[in-house]
Amino acid sequence: MPQSAPAINPFETAKRQIDIVADLLSINDGTREVLKHPKRELTVNFPVRMDDGSYRVYTGYRVQYNIARGPSKGGIRYHPQVSLDEVRALAAWMTWKCAVVNLPYGGAKGGIICDPKHMSQGELERLTRRFATELVPIIGPEMDIPAPDVYTDSQTMAWIMDTYSQEKGYSVPGVVTGKPIAIGGSEGRGEATGRGCAYVIREAAPHAGLKLKGANIAVQGFGNAGSVAANILHDEFGANIIAVSDSKGGITNSAGLNLKAVEDHKHKTGSVVGFPGSKAISNEELLEIKTDVLIPAALENQLTAKNAGKVQAKIVAEAANGPTVPEADKVFFEKKITVLPDILANAGGVTVSYFEWAQNIQGYSWTLAEVNERLNRVMTESYARVHEVAEQRKVHNRTAAYVVAIQRVVDALKIRGFFP
Ligand code: NAD
């Protein structure tokens, strides 16, 4: 019987990436070992009462990968495939993402092995509150600040904030971000990832020989990140959105799509497919369409050795996490396609999470204009630094982003000194 290829362990991938950058930066073996180990890990098995009166035991994890630059930050996901190594890898990537945009944070991630699609709201609330109780000793505004991730949302964060606050005896809004505005969430958090991505594209365009006004844009995954980026690129920078897609397929119109009408159509029918006046294309075709900017904003592993050679864009901006496999990166570098890597291009979300936390601990809230102005500054400065390192070292932007991030973490480790 043919054997399926063993699944790639994401933490092994994360450690390989550290080695590549550590070689470039001539980081010594001891520091390299520190970078390749999570600082603190919690594994917890806990019972949850189900709606039918039975009890089930769930397993949850929280990994605080590195706290050299500040409290750790990262989402919590609910998914049947959650594993400790996946959480470790995601926590390492959060460390680099926070560092590349220079937030005063380390990185963390959490998860529960569960199937949220087959759980009631009541079961999800009991699962969340029981997990939050287990997290109380290791989370907090000065220690580790969770946020939403796959299949968790602002309601999940509200339950965690409430459970933590009950334990403390007073309200602690800064213990989580991605909260509803009513309990200390930030203006602009919902659209921050797409907005940050649009700002990074704006900064990269001149270096890629592209004028954004009138440029053509294709977006794979017209969800939160993708649709916000598309709307801002059109409304604020005058770009032309020529193709979008979702899980059911894609649509194109070389004259430009009316995004508000596409959103209405998606709202009514559940998909962008069938939008009047557009031509149907597959998700694979969308990636290879003639466009100036391609924004993968859906899933990982979309741009591979198979299709990278057919990509016609000048810029690939990764709103999604991990859409490009390393073989495709090589092709893009050779073809002089500018890649804006995920840890930079989608860091707008964690940046406004940081703003939310900063507002909470100040007890003061900012206007939407203030949030967007500060986000603009963070994304502009971060792109400039990554671009500068890419030019200096003659490496692609992904390596440059890792160099910037890992160097910042190493600087923090060194200046603090290794105890004792
Ligand atoms: P979302 O669920 O709002 O949107 C995802 C979109 O992708 C949906 O339109 C869905 O229909 C589409 N999709 C699903 N399968 C597809 C397929 N096979 N082909 C094409 N499209 C498909 O999710 P989101 O929050 O916009 O997240 C999208 C990506 O951005 C993810 O990789 C996520 O990790 C990343 N990201 C999001 C945030 C954030 O704040 N929302 C922050 C950082 C990274």
* Ligand 1 pocket check for 193: Cβ under 6 Å: yes
Give 75-109 pLDDT, tens digit per residue: 999 999 999 999 999 999 999 999 999 999 999 99
Residues 166 and 224 both lie in one domain = no
In the predicted structure, residue 279 carries a pLDDT above the cut 50: yes
- Report the range of poorest mean pLDDT among 51-60, 202-211, 252-261, 296-305: 296-305
Listing DSSP states for 181-222 in one string gives: GGGTPPTTSTTHHHHHHHHHHHHHTGGGT--STT-EEEEE--
> Would you place residue 3 in the very low, low, confident or very high pLDDT band (cuts 50, 70, 90)?
very low
Question: What is the percent of the chain where pLDDT is above 90?
Answer: 95
Q: Residue 396: inside a domain, yes or no? A: no
Residues 253 and 312 both lie in one domain = yes
Q: Which atom, in ligand 1's list, is nearest to the CA of 342?
A: 44
* Ligand 1 pocket check for 288: Cβ under 6 Å: no
Q: Which atom, in ligand 1's list, is nearest to the CA of 319?
A: 30
Place of tokens 């959490």: 110
Q: Residue 108: inside a domain, yes or no? A: yes
Q: Residue 375: inside a domain, yes or no? A: no
Cα–ligand 1 centroid distance for 323 (angstroms) = 11
Cα–ligand 1 centroid distance for 226 (angstroms) = 7
Query: What average pLDDT does the segment 277-297 reach?
Result: 97
Q: Which domain holds residue 124?
A: 27-175
Q: Return the residue whose CA atom lies nearest to atom 2 of ligand 1.
A: 223
Q: Residue 278: inside a domain, yes or no? A: yes
How high is the pLDDT of residue 6?
A: 55
Residues linked to residue 43 through DSSP beta bridges, in sequence order? 61
* Ligand 1 pocket check for 249: Cβ under 6 Å: no
> Would you place residue 418 in the very low, low, confident or very high pLDDT band (cuts 50, 70, 90)?
confident
In the predicted structure, residue 420 carries a pLDDT above the cut 90: no
Is residue 221 within 8 Å of 299, Cβ to Cβ?
yes
How high is the pLDDT of residue 367?
A: 98
> Would you place residue 1 in the very low, low, confident or very high pLDDT band (cuts 50, 70, 90)?
very low
Who's near 276: CB < 8 A, 6+ residues apart? Answer: 265
How high is the pLDDT of residue 320?
A: 94
In the predicted structure, residue 316 carries a pLDDT above the cut 90: yes
* Ligand 1 pocket check for 319: Cβ under 6 Å: yes
User: Which H or E element spans position 307?
Assistant: none
Catalytic residue among 15, 39, 97, 109: 109
Cα 81 from Cα 147, distance rounded (Å): 19
Q: Give me the CATH number covering residue 323.
A: 3.40.50.720
Q: Residue 229: inside a domain, yes or no? A: yes
How high is the pLDDT of residue 4?
A: 47
Residues 196 and 331 both lie in one domain = yes
Q: How far is CA 8 from the centre of its chain?
A: 20
* Ligand 1 pocket check for 299: Cβ under 6 Å: yes
Burial of 5 (0-12, 13-18, 19+ CB in 10 A): exposed
Pick from 151, 152, 228, 246 the residue to mutate for probing ligand 1's pocket: most ligand atoms within 8 Å of its CB: 246
Which of 345, 364, 379 terminates a domain? The answer is 345
Q: Return the residue whose CA atom lies nearest to atom 16 of ligand 1.
A: 247
Cα 120 from Cα 117, distance rounded (Å): 8
Is residue 345 within 8 Å of 319, Cβ to Cβ?
yes
Q: Give me the CATH number covering residue 95.
A: 3.40.50.10860
* Ligand 1 pocket check for 302: Cβ under 6 Å: no
* Ligand 1 pocket check for 222: Cβ under 6 Å: yes
Which of 345, 367, 400 terminates a domain? The answer is 345
Residues 171 and 196 both lie in one domain = no
Residues 223 and 282 both lie in one domain = yes
Q: Residue 371: inside a domain, yes or no? A: no
Q: Residue 360: inside a domain, yes or no? A: no
Q: Return the residue whose CA atom lies nearest to atom 43 of ligand 1.
A: 346
Cα 245 from Cα 251, distance rounded (Å): 6
Q: Residue 295: inside a domain, yes or no? A: yes
In the predicted structure, residue 8 carries a pLDDT above the cut 90: no
Residues 201 and 341 both lie in one domain = yes
Of 69, 142, 131, 76, residue with least CA distance to 108 = 76
Residues 158 and 263 both lie in one domain = no
As a whole number, the mean pLDDT across the chain is 96
How high is the pLDDT of residue 419?
A: 84
Q: Is the dihedral of CA 406, 412, 414, 420 positive or negative?
A: negative
Which of 319, 345, 371 terminates a domain? The answer is 345
Cα 326 from Cα 287, distance rounded (Å): 17
The helix/strand/coil state of 252 is strand
Residues 141 and 199 both lie in one domain = no
Cα–ligand 1 centroid distance for 194 (angstroms) = 11
Cα–ligand 1 centroid distance for 298 (angstroms) = 4
Give 19-76 pLDDT, tens digit per residue: 999 999 999 999 999 999 999 999 999 999 999 999 999 999 999 999 999 999 999 9
Q: Which atom, in ligand 1's list, is nearest to the CA of 222?
A: 9
Q: Which atom, in ligand 1's list, is nearest to the CA of 286?
A: 20
Residues 205 and 70 both lie in one domain = no
Cα–ligand 1 centroid distance for 224 (angstroms) = 7
In the predicted structure, residue 237 carries a pLDDT above the cut 90: yes
Give 106-132 pLDDT, tens digit per residue: 999 999 999 999 999 999 999 999 999
Residues 159 and 265 both lie in one domain = no
Q: In the chain, how many domains are there? A: 2
Residues 323 and 213 both lie in one domain = yes
Q: Which atom, in ligand 1's list, is nearest to the CA of 322?
A: 32
72: DSSP letter = E
Residue 279 is among the residues annotated as catalytic for this protein: no
Residues 156 and 278 both lie in one domain = no
